[in-house]
């Protein structure tokens, strides 16, 4: 082999090594809380973490610990399928992502229902707990009906360790009209209680 070929092979090997990425080899323990009930899984072949479950209130969270075979920039796809078991229709869904290492977020999207867009706020930190935090604001699109499903995902890339924690804190936002309805209902109930208290006082005085 000539010196030129040896140099080309060496350069190609170095380039391949320099752009290689670590693999997530295992995940767990998994956790969930608030109004979210779900289970998670890792597909090591596609480097995808998936959460499937339901959400019965406006907010909740999901978390997992990830293990990589080296600290060299793992790239991980997150996929979520969440059933709306709350009492209102969702028109916006805010996902706060926290990791214990600096990371980036890209390729955020909603596949079901149609017409949603995603606005990403790049992670900053660390905070007082040592976590870095980013936000994805998913905006509809076709609303997520009660008992409907929201399928959303994004990609994270991070570095610096072979063990990582990742937590999603989610906030479902109802239709604008729902806020007015709830506010009106609260005013009616409050007015009814005030009227009853006033009536009771008048009866006592009499």
For residue range 178-204, list pLDDT tens digits in order: 555 455 555 555 555 455 555 545 444
Judging by beta carbons within 10 Å of its beta carbon (0-12, 13-18, 19+), is residue 78 exposed, middle or buried? buried
Question: How far apart are the C-alpha atoms of 15 and 87, rounded to whole Å?
Answer: 54
Residue 175 has pLDDT above 60, yes or no: yes
With residues binned 3-state (H G I as helix, E B as strand, rest as coil), the percentages for the chain, rounded to 5, are 20, 55, 20
All residues at 6 or more sequence positions from 83 whose CB lies less than 8 Å from its CB, including other chains:
53, 54, 55, 147, 148, 149
Tell me the domain boundaries of the chain.
23-174, 177-206
19-33, 124-138, 142-156: lowest mean pLDDT where?
19-33
7-21, 24-38, 131-145, 172-186: lowest mean pLDDT where?
7-21
pLDDT score, position 28: 95
Is the bond leading into 141 cis (omega within 30 degrees of zero)?
yes
């Amino acid at each position: 082999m000539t010196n030129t070929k040896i140099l080309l092979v060496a350069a190609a090997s170095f380039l391949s090594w320099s752009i290689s990425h670590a693999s997530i080899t295992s995940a767990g323990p998994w956790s969930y809380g608030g109004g979210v009930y779900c289970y998670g899984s890792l597909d090591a072949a596609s480097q995808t973490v998936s959460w499937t479950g339901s959400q019965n209130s406006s907010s909740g969270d999901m978390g997992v610990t990830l293990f990589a075979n080296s600290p060299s920039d793992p790239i991980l796809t997150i996929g979520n399928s969440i059933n709306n078991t709350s009492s209102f229709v969702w028109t916006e869904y805010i996902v706060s992502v926290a990791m214990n290492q600096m990371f980036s977020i890209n390729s955020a999207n909603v596949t079901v229902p149609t017409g949603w867009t995603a606005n990403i706020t790049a992670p900053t930190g660390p905070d007082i707990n040592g976590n870095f935090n980013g936000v994805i604001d998913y905006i509809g699109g076709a609303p997520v009906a009660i008992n409907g499903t929201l399928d959303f995902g994004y990609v994270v890339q991070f570095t610096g360790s072979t063990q990582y924690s990742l937590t999603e804190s989610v906030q479902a936002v109802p239709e604008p009209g729902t806020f007015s309805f709830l506010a009106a209902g609260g005013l009616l109930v409050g007015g009814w209680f005030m009227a009853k208290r006033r009536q009771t006082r008048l009866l006592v005085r009499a």
